[in-house]
A and B are shown apart, each in its own frame.
Chain A
């Protein structure tokens, strides 16, 4: 843990970190981009999750929906990740020690694992249930876990704002 805080302290001395930290407009601007990107990630993932849960778009093929929506989800996620990283470097040690931040990342990790299990295991059988309104349990579970994780990410993400003492 010592070496992590030492590394993060070094990050905070970089030009990039200092610039974002000291500029009056840089952080709010990056944060605004982060909010739009995360809104698009959560909203688009919800479209797929609700399909998996059989609650919306049930007449559409799962494969078709995924193909149309997920590329945009990825693009938005990359934007959210980059903007998030930029905010992080500006107050690296504080974020790292923040409980809400840690919980947010734990949920992001969970969402990622859930997605990989779905993508590489469950999805392999998609041809069988592509047109079904009601999907097999693993698919429904994936949708439910995904939604729960992302709602949690938004909640703890907001908590960070209330528990950070930004100097």
Chain B
């Protein structure tokens, strides 16, 4: 991996992004705004699952905030990849924070897909109350998993090779 990252860091594309520091700040800013999109969408859906907000149905809430969640993820990938290309050693040289972040992201995205599929198939049971406590626990855990992804993301800057 180290040879790959050294090569990637020497490419014209990598140099181009590095030269424009403001571009990296801009990419990171959009990345953070996309984090805001994703975290807020997840939070609004979780709040509905946990019953903190009741003015809309579970299905309405998922339809309202689902698209923002997925758009946010696309933006995160679209900004994340150029950021990796700009400074490949920072993430790809076995940075444990980055690896942990990607691992948790895979789990969180899977959970989001499973939730959407389940809601589409069993809308009625999702609208009914009381909700089994397992669901509430899973909802809370998922929310904190997304938080943990954000934390791991910040720690990329502080942690280097494992």
Contact = CB atoms under 8 A, between A and B. Distances in A.
Interface of A: 28, 31-32, 35-36, 38-44, 46-47, 57, 60, 64, 68-69, 72, 151, 154-155, 158-159, 162
A66 to B, nearest CB: 12
Interface of B: 21, 25-26, 28-29, 32-33, 35-37, 39-41, 43-44, 47, 53, 55-56, 64, 147, 150-151, 153-155, 158
Given A39-B39, A154-B32, A162-B25, A68 B55 contact: yes
A43 B36 contact: yes
Nearest to A29: B151
B39 A36 contact: yes
Contacts of B39: 36, 39-40, 43
B154 A154 contact: no
B21 A162 contact: yes
Contacts of A154: 29, 32-33, 36
A72 B43 contact: yes
Contacts of A47: 40, 44
B68 to A, nearest CB: 8
Contacts of A158: 25, 28-29, 32
Contacts of A35: 32, 35, 150-151, 153-154
B32 A39 contact: yes
19 contacts: A32-B150, A35-B151, A35-B153, A36-B147, A40-B40, A40-B43, A42-B33, A43-B37, A43-B40, A43-B41, A43-B43, A46-B37, A46-B40, A64-B55, A69-B44, A72-B43, A154-B32, A158-B25, A158-B28
The prevalent SS among residues of B at the interface is helix
Contacts of B25: 155, 158-159, 162
A79 B105 CA distance: 24
A32 B81 CA distance: 21
A49 to B, nearest CB: 12
A151 B44 CA distance: 21
Given A28-B155, A40-B39, 12 more contacts: A28-B154, A32-B151, A35-B35, A36-B147, A39-B35, A44-B40, A46-B36, A47-B40, A60-B56, A72-B43, A154-B29, A154-B36
A47 B36 CA distance: 11
Nearest to B39: A39
A39 B55 contact: no
Contacts of A159: 25
Contacts of B151: 32, 35-36
Contacts of B55: 60, 64, 68
Contacts of A57: 64
Nearest to B41: A43
A38 B43 CA distance: 13
Contacts of A36: 39, 147, 150-151
